[in-house]
A and B are shown apart, each in its own frame.
Chain A
Amino acid sequence: MMSFNVLIVVALAYVTLLFLVAFWADRRAREGDANWLSSPWIYTLSLSIYCTGWTFYGAVGYAARSGLEFVTIYLGPTLVMVGWWWVLRRLVRIGRAQRITSIADLISSRFGKSTQLGMIVTVISVIAATPYIALQLQSVTLSFAVFAELEGASWGDADFNVTAMWTAVGLAIFTVIFGTRNLDANERHHGVVMAVAIEAVVKLLALVAVGVFVVWGIAGGPDQMLDRIDSSEIVLWNQDSGRWISLIFLSAAAFLCLPRMFQVLVVENADERHLHVASWAFPLYLFIMSLFVVPIAVIGLDLLPTGSNPDLFVLTLPLNEGQGGLAVLSFLGGFSSATSMVIVATIALATMVSNHIVVPIWLRRHTSQQAVMSGDVRRVILLSRRLTVAGILALGFLYYRMSGGGTALAAIGLISFTGSVQILPALIGGIFWRGATAIGAGAGLVTGLTVWMWTLFLPSFGTDAFIGQEIMDHGVYGLTWLRPQALFGITSLDPLVHGILWSMLLNAGMFIICSLITFPTPLERLQGAQFVNVFDHSNATSAWTAAGTGAEDLLIMSQRILGGIEAQALFEQETLRQGKIGYLPEVTPEFIERLERELAGSVGAATAHAMIGQLIGGSNVSVEDLIAVADEAAQILEYSNRLEEKSEEQERTARALRSANDKLTALSIQKDAFLSQISHELRTPMTSIRSFSDILREGAMEDDEQQRYAAIINAEAVRLTRLLDDLLDLSVLENGQVVLHEQTGNLSDLLDRSVAAAGLHDGVLSVVRTPSAENLVLTADLDRLAQVFINVISNARKYCDADNPELTIRLHRIAKDYVIDFTDNGSGIAVENQELIFEKFSRVSDESKAGGAGLGLAICREIMQRLGGDISYVTDNTGTAFRVTLPFTAVVATLEET
C-alpha cells in the first residue's frame, strides 16, 4: 500500500518538474525561440484550466447525486467553442487589435477607457473567484486526507488547515515567480502556459486511466458497462428542464467571462488561427474528460460501502481495488487540475487589480510629482501584482477556513459562476452593439452584482450568517416581493435557476435601458465603433490630434512603464518606420495612438490613456472626429482611404527625403568649415616648422635653445603625420581594403588595455566598471576593437563637461546581441547634432578643445561596420552615451557557461 510519505515525495517531485518546465519554457521564449511554444495544441491544452479540481473529483460526485446534469458544465463551453465564428473570433481579434490585458480591460477600454468600469469588473471578479479558489484548496486537502487515512491517521481540523495553508503558500510562490516576472507589452506567460499544458495532459491521462480500469478492468467491457448502468440504482434524469438549459447557458457564459478563461482564450492567444484547431480539439478534450464519469459513478456506488463520499470515487475506487499506482496517478490529476486553475486565475486577477485599482490610485496621488524615474510605474505594477497574488490566495484560504470546508463549499461552485457571468451583458453588448454606453454597462453590472449577492451569494453562507430566516421567509421590512429566493413572488423556481434568471434579466434590462437613454462621450463612440466594426477597419480613427509635446517627454514616460531598454527599442523602431535614423521619432498622431496601445498592453487602456493625456494636455477628440463618428458619412471616408494610403506612402518618402536633405545641407556647411579648418590645421604646423628650421639654419645659438627648436619641429611634424594617418586610415576602411587580424581574447582585458591607453593617468576622468560582469570571450580583430574603445573613452575625457567627470562602462544584452554602453555624466550632445557626429569632417564643439580633425568617430563607425557590429549614440537621461554593439559572431562564450 502507498505510504503517505511516498505520496508527499511524489507530489513534491511533480511540482519540481513543473518548475523546471516553466523555467525552461520562459528561457526559450526569452531567447526568441517561442515559435513552437505557441502552437495550436499548447493553446488548446491551456484552455483545459476550465476543468478544475472541483470538476475532476466533483463531476463523479455530481453524477452520483444528480445524474447526467454534470454534463451541462461541459456542454456550455462546447457550444461556445463550436460556435467560435460568432463570439470567440471577434473577441480574439479585438484583444489583439486593442492590446487587451484582461476582461476588466476589455470592458473599460470598450466604454471609453473608463477607470470606474474597470474597477467594478475587477471587484466582481475577485468576489466571484474567492470561493472557487477555496474549492481548489479543499479538493487538494481532501485528496491528501484520503491517503493519510489509509495509514489509520484520522485528520482533524488542524491537519486540514495546515495542508491547505501549505498548498496556498506553494501556489503563491510558483505564481509570483513565473506569473509576475515580466511586464511585456503583450502580457504573455510562456512558462506558465507550458506548465499548464503539461498539467492538462496529466489530468486527462489520470481520468482516462481510472476510466479504462473501471470499464475494462472491473465491468469487463463497454457492453457490460452499459448493462450495469441500466441495472444501477443511479438516477440519471430527474432535474427539471429549466435547470438543464440554465446550467448549459451558465457554463457557456462563464467560459467567456471567467477572468482565467479570458486570460488563456484571448490574452495568451498568439495567433488567431489557433482557434481553428481549438474549436474542435477543446470540445474533444472535454468529451474525453467526461466520458468515464458515469461509469466511475455507477461502479463506485456498486462497490464502495454506502456512505462513502462520491466526490472522491476517482481516488477511493482504485484504492479499494488495491491499485495504489493508479490512485497516485489520479491524485496527481486532481492536484494538476486544482493548481493550474489557481495559478492562471491569480495571474489574471493580479493583472486586473494592479491595472485597474492600484495604478489609477497611485497615479492620482503622484500627478504633481515631476521627478520621474525610469521604470518607477513598472515597479509599482510588479509589486502590486505580487502582493495581489498572495492576497487572493490568502482570501481563498480564509474563505476555506470560515466555511469549514464541508459540503457547503461544494455547492458554491455554480454560485461563483453566476457571479462572474454578470459581466456577460456588457461584454456581448460591447462587442456587437454600438449603442451600448458606459453608464448602461455600469448600471447593468452594479444591478447584476446586487441581485446576485442578494439571491445567491449571501444566502450561500447559510441561514443567519448574513441573512436571517425571517428575511428569507418574509423579505425586508415585510416586503414579500424582496424575498431572496422568491423575488417578485415567484416561488416555484429552483433557487439557482431563480438567481440566474433574475440577475441576468435585471442586469441586461438595466444595461439596455440606460444605454438607450444616455448619450455616450466622444471617446466611447470612437471605441464602440472600433470594437463593433473590428473586422471592417482595424485601422483606428485617430483620437489624438495636435501633438504639443516632444518625443523626449514621451520617451521618458514610456521608460517609466516599460523600462529603459524596451522603451528605447520601441522608439527606435518607430523612427525606422518613419524612414528616419536615430532614436527620436516625429510625434505624429498615429505614433501617439500606437504608443498608447503599446502601453495599454502593460498597464491597461484606461491608465495608458490617462498618462498620455497628462502629457498631451487633453487635446484628444476634435470636432472633425466627432463629425466623422456621428455622421454616417463615413462612407466617404472609405473612398478617401485609398487616396490616404497613397499619400501616406508619399509622406513617408518625403519625410525621408527632407531628413536626407537636412543632413546634406548640414554636411555641406560642415565640409566648408572643415576645408578651411584643415588648411589651417595643415598650415599652422607647416608655418612653425618652416620658421623654426629657418632659425636653425642661421645657426649661432645655444645648444639647449637648438634642442628646444628641434623638439618643436618634431612635435609639429608628428601632429601632421597623425592627421594624415587618420585620413589614410579612413579611406582604407571606406574602400574595404582593410585586412582584419582575428584574435581571441577576454573583453575585460581588452577594456583594461583601452582604459590604460586612453591616457586617463592625469586623473581628470574616473571610470566606473564592473569587471565581473565583463567576462566575455571574443574572437575578432581585437586591436581594431580596442581602437574604438580608446577613441570613445578619450572623447569622454576631452568633452565631458561635468565637475567630476565620470564614465560608466557597462556590458549587457539586448535580445541576442551583447552591447557595451559608455555613458558619462556630462550634458550630452544636442539633438540637432546627434545625427552628424558619426560623419567625417564633423565637429560638434568649438575647435580649441579638440586635438583631432573630427575623424575619430567616423573611423570608429567604419571599424565597427567592418567587424559586423555597430556603434551608435543613445538618447539617455544622463549625459553622453555611446553604445557599441559587439559583432554577433565574435562572442565565443560567456565564462559562466564554459
Chain B
Amino acid sequence: MSRQKTPVFLQRASYRQRRLRDAAKLMPVLGGILLALPMAWSHDPSGEPSNSDRVVYIFGVWILLIVLTAIFANRMRADPVDAAEDAPPQ
C-alpha cells in the first residue's frame, strides 16, 4: 500500500538508513550461524578446542553481537527521520 508514497530512489542519508536497517535485520542470522558452529566441536574434553577456548569463543561471539547491535541502534537513533516511513499517516 505504501507503494505510492515512497520514491524508488532515495537520497544519500535515507539510503544509509535503509542499509543500516538491513544490517540490523541480519544480526540474528549472523548470531544464529556463529552460535551453531559449536555443534561441530568434539565431545572429548581434552580434545581441540580446549575448554578455555570454548568459553572464550562463545563469550566472544556474544559480545560481538552486542557491540554491532549497539552501533546500529545508535546510528539509527541519531537520525530523527528514521521512523518516518513507518509512521502512521497523520
Q: Are A241 and B39 in contact (CB under 8 A)?
A: yes
List B53-67 residues whose CB lies under 8 Å from chain A.
54-56, 58-59, 62-63, 65-67
For chains A and B in complex, what number of residue pairs have CB atoms within 8 angstroms?
A: 109
Q: Are B89 and A539 in contact (CB under 8 A)?
A: yes
**Interchain nearest-CB distance for B17 vs A (Å):** 12
Question: What string of 1s and 0s marks CB contacts (under 8 Å) between B38-60 and chain A?
Answer: 11011101000011101110110
CB-CB under 8 A for A75 and B62, given A82-B31, A537-B88, A537-B89: yes
Question: What string of 1s and 0s marks CB contacts (under 8 Å) between A393-435 and chain B?
Answer: 0000000000000000000000000000000000000000000
- A248: chain B residues at CB < 8 Å are 35
- Closest B residue to A231 using CB positions: B51
- A537: chain B residues at CB < 8 Å are 1, 88-89
- B1: chain A residues at CB < 8 Å are 533, 536-537, 634-635, 638
- Closest B residue to A244 using CB positions: B39
Cβ of A320 within 8 Å of any chain B Cβ, yes or no, is: no
- B56: chain A residues at CB < 8 Å are 226
Cβ of A535 within 8 Å of any chain B Cβ, yes or no, is: yes
Q: Are A245 and B52 in contact (CB under 8 A)?
A: no
Q: Are B25 and A236 in contact (CB under 8 A)?
A: no
- A639: chain B residues at CB < 8 Å are 4
CB-CB under 8 A for A79 and B28, given A238-B43, A280-B73: yes
A75 to B43, CA, bound (A): 21
- Closest B residue to A225 using CB positions: B52
Cβ of A68 within 8 Å of any chain B Cβ, yes or no, is: yes
CB-CB under 8 A for A279 and B88, given A85-B21, A536-B1, A537-B1: no
A272 to B86, CA, bound (A): 12
Q: Are A234 and B51 in contact (CB under 8 A)?
A: yes
- A75: chain B residues at CB < 8 Å are 31, 35, 62
A2 to B38, CA, bound (A): 43
A227 to B35, CA, bound (A): 24
Q: Are B21 and A287 in contact (CB under 8 A)?
A: no
Q: Are A245 and B39 in contact (CB under 8 A)?
A: yes
A85 to B29, CA, bound (A): 12
A227 to B50, CA, bound (A): 10
Partner of B69, one of A232, A279, A535: A279
**Interchain nearest-CB distance for A97 vs B (Å):** 8
**Interchain nearest-CB distance for A79 vs B (Å):** 5
- Closest A residue to B43 using CB positions: A238
For chain B, the bracket of interface size reads 35 or more
Question: What string of 1s and 0s marks CB contacts (under 8 Å) between A632-647 and chain B?
Answer: 0011001101000100
A245 to B21, CA, bound (A): 27
- Closest A residue to B21 using CB positions: A85
List A78-92 residues whose CB lies under 8 Å from chain B.
78-86
Question: What string of 1s and 0s marks CB contacts (under 8 Å) between A203-244 and chain B?
Answer: 000000000000000000000001101101011111001001
A635 to B51, CA, bound (A): 59
Cβ of A94 within 8 Å of any chain B Cβ, yes or no, is: no
Cβ of A475 within 8 Å of any chain B Cβ, yes or no, is: no
- B42: chain A residues at CB < 8 Å are 237
- B88: chain A residues at CB < 8 Å are 537-539
> Is the contact region of chain A dominated by helix, strand, or loop, or is it mixed?
helix
Q: Are B32 and A638 in contact (CB under 8 A)?
A: no
Cβ of A273 within 8 Å of any chain B Cβ, yes or no, is: yes
- A279: chain B residues at CB < 8 Å are 69-70, 73
Question: What string of 1s and 0s marks CB contacts (under 8 Å) between A39-63 and chain B?
Answer: 0000000000000000000000000
Cβ of B27 within 8 Å of any chain A Cβ, yes or no, is: yes
Cβ of A738 within 8 Å of any chain B Cβ, yes or no, is: no
- Closest B residue to A248 using CB positions: B35
CB-CB under 8 A for A280 and B70, given A79-B31, A236-B54: yes
Q: Are A287 and B54 in contact (CB under 8 A)?
A: no
- A287: chain B residues at CB < 8 Å are 59, 62-63, 66
A734 to B5, CA, bound (A): 52
Q: Please report the total number of A residues contacting B with Cβ < 8 Å.
A: 49
- A71: chain B residues at CB < 8 Å are 58
A287 to B62, CA, bound (A): 7
**Interchain nearest-CB distance for B67 vs A (Å):** 8
- B35: chain A residues at CB < 8 Å are 75, 79, 248
Q: Are B45 and A237 in contact (CB under 8 A)?
A: yes
- A273: chain B residues at CB < 8 Å are 77
Cβ of A140 within 8 Å of any chain B Cβ, yes or no, is: no
- A504: chain B residues at CB < 8 Å are none
**Interchain nearest-CB distance for B81 vs A (Å):** 13
Q: Are B55 and A283 in contact (CB under 8 A)?
A: no
List A635-661 residues whose CB lies under 8 Å from chain B.
635, 638-639, 641, 645
List A698-725 residues whose CB lies under 8 Å from chain B.
none
Cβ of A778 within 8 Å of any chain B Cβ, yes or no, is: no
- B2: chain A residues at CB < 8 Å are 536
Cβ of A8 within 8 Å of any chain B Cβ, yes or no, is: no
Interface centre among A84, A232, A236, A280 (most CB of B within 10 A): A280
CB-CB under 8 A for A230 and B51, given A68-B58, A235-B45, A273-B77: yes
Cβ of B8 within 8 Å of any chain A Cβ, yes or no, is: no
A79 to B30, CA, bound (A): 9
Cβ of A510 within 8 Å of any chain B Cβ, yes or no, is: no
- B77: chain A residues at CB < 8 Å are 273, 276
CB-CB under 8 A for A280 and B52, given A287-B59, A533-B1, A539-B88: no
CB-CB under 8 A for A83 and B51, given A236-B45, A237-B43, A536-B1: no
Partner of A78, one of B21, B31, B51, B55: B31
**Interchain nearest-CB distance for A65 vs B (Å):** 14
Question: What string of 1s and 0s marks CB contacts (under 8 Å) between B1-36 and chain A?
Answer: 110100000000000000001001101100110011
**Interchain nearest-CB distance for A597 vs B (Å):** 14
Q: Are A82 and B51 in contact (CB under 8 A)?
A: no
A276 to B2, CA, bound (A): 24
A323 to B42, CA, bound (A): 39
Q: Are B51 and A229 in contact (CB under 8 A)?
A: yes
- Closest A residue to B28 using CB positions: A83
Q: Are B55 and A280 in contact (CB under 8 A)?
A: no
A859 to B28, CA, bound (A): 68
**Interchain nearest-CB distance for B22 vs A (Å):** 9
Partner of B65, one of A241, A283, A291, A536: A283
- A283: chain B residues at CB < 8 Å are 62, 65-66, 69
List A606-643 residues whose CB lies under 8 Å from chain B.
634-635, 638-639, 641
**Interchain nearest-CB distance for B69 vs A (Å):** 4
A799 to B21, CA, bound (A): 67
Cβ of A893 within 8 Å of any chain B Cβ, yes or no, is: no
- Closest B residue to A87 using CB positions: B28
Cβ of A294 within 8 Å of any chain B Cβ, yes or no, is: yes
**Interchain nearest-CB distance for B86 vs A (Å):** 4
A291 to B32, CA, bound (A): 20
Partner of B55, one of A85, A86, A229: A229
A68 to B41, CA, bound (A): 12
- A84: chain B residues at CB < 8 Å are 24
A696 to B41, CA, bound (A): 124
- Closest A residue to B31 using CB positions: A79
- B65: chain A residues at CB < 8 Å are 78, 82, 283
Task: List 15 contacting pairs A-B, 8 Å CB cutoff, sorted by A.
Answer: A71-B58, A75-B31, A78-B66, A82-B27, A82-B69, A86-B28, A237-B38, A241-B39, A276-B74, A280-B66, A280-B70, A283-B65, A283-B69, A536-B2, A537-B89
Chain A residues in the interface with B (C-beta under 8 A): 68, 71, 75, 78-86, 226-227, 229-230, 232, 234-238, 241, 244-245, 248, 273, 276-277, 279-281, 283-284, 287, 291, 294, 533, 535-539, 634-635, 638-639, 641, 645
What are the 6 A-B residue pairs with the smallest beta carbon separation, nearest first? A83-B28, A538-B88, A241-B39, A280-B70, A226-B52, A280-B69
Chain B residues in the interface with A (C-beta under 8 A): 1-2, 4, 21, 24-25, 27-28, 31-32, 35-36, 38-39, 41-43, 45, 50-52, 54-56, 58-59, 62-63, 65-70, 73-74, 76-77, 86, 88-89
Q: A71-B58, A236-B51 are in contact. List 14 more A-B contacts (CB 8 A).
A: A68-B38, A75-B35, A79-B28, A80-B28, A84-B24, A86-B28, A241-B39, A245-B36, A280-B70, A283-B62, A283-B69, A287-B63, A537-B1, A638-B4
